[in-house]
Amino acid sequence: MNKKIELQDLDLKDYKETWDYQETLFRGIVDSKIKNRREDAGLETKNYFLFVEHPHVYTLGKSGDMSNLLVDQAQLKEKNASFYKVNRGGDITYHGPGQIVGYPILDLDNFFTDIHKYLRFLEEVIILTLSGYGLKAERSPGETGVWLDVGTPFARKICAMGVRASRWVTMHGFALNVNANLGYFDLMIPCGIRGKAVTSLNVELGKKEVDQAEVKTKLLKHFAELFKAEFV
């Protein structure tokens, strides 16, 4: 089993271009697995982890409700934002500057074949990272992602998640608000969940800006420990 993960930091990159790139990497892994099964080729399947920051964009998952986007195309244009329907799970979410987006494109046959466990591990990576900043982050029952003050009137989401998996190969991932412009969340019903607020790490820490490179280092450390993986 190959537990090495190729790390790529794409910096600021258009959502659709990144989605297409994810699909290319995803398809390469799936094709290797099909060849191994059909021809007993013995090919080692690769794993990737992409860090990226997107220009303002709203994406709607397969089970999403279009009414959760509260603006039309003209208003999106005014906000310099784009919109895509995508092939991940979940409802609507927002990506933009100041947000760390992580796309693990893994062959789970190299780790464990359990999507529920995979999602819980992704959440745990975020929870452990935020703990390093003195924040008690939690899961919210029935709501994928990572939250603060769960079970109180002040519950607020700090990290959204949505994944796709086929033949135990994953794509899409998580979006952690670090220095995000929270005003953009007002243009949608985040993840289709009404009455819940959204927050960002800099807001919670009372800082103008948090060092995103430092956050990425912490995320990778916890990811490697949980998945017993090595980044290369």
Mean pLDDT, to the nearest integer, of 153-157?
93
Using one digit for the tens of pLDDT, what is the confidence trace for 201-232? 999 999 999 999 999 999 999 999 999 999 99
Is the pTM of the predicted complex or chain greater than 0.85?
A: yes
Radius of gyration for the alpha carbons in the chain, expressed in angstroms and rounded: 17
37 a known binding residue? Answer: no
Residue in 29, 57, 108, 191 annotated catalytic: 191
CATH code where residue 78 lies? 3.30.930.10
Q: Which domain holds residue 142?
A: 4-231
Sheet containing 82-85: give its strands across: 82-85, 57-60, 92-95
95: how many CB neighbours lie within 10 A of its CB? Answer: 22
Q: CA 74, CA 76: separation in Å to the nearest integer?
A: 5
pLDDT of residue 54: 98
Task: Give the mean pLDDT of the chain.
Answer: 94
Is residue 191 among the annotated active site residues? yes
Whether residue 21 has pLDDT greater than 70: yes
Using one digit for the tens of pLDDT, what is the confidence trace for 25-41? 999 999 999 999 898 87
213 a known binding residue? Answer: no
* Domain count within the chain: 1
93 a known binding residue? Answer: yes
Model confidence at 89, in pLDDT bands (50, 70, 90)?
A: confident
Is there a contact between 165 and 119 (Cβ–Cβ < 8 Å)?
Answer: no
Q: CA 144, CA 120: separation in Å to the nearest integer?
A: 9
Using one digit for the tens of pLDDT, what is the confidence trace for 94-108? 999 999 999 999 999
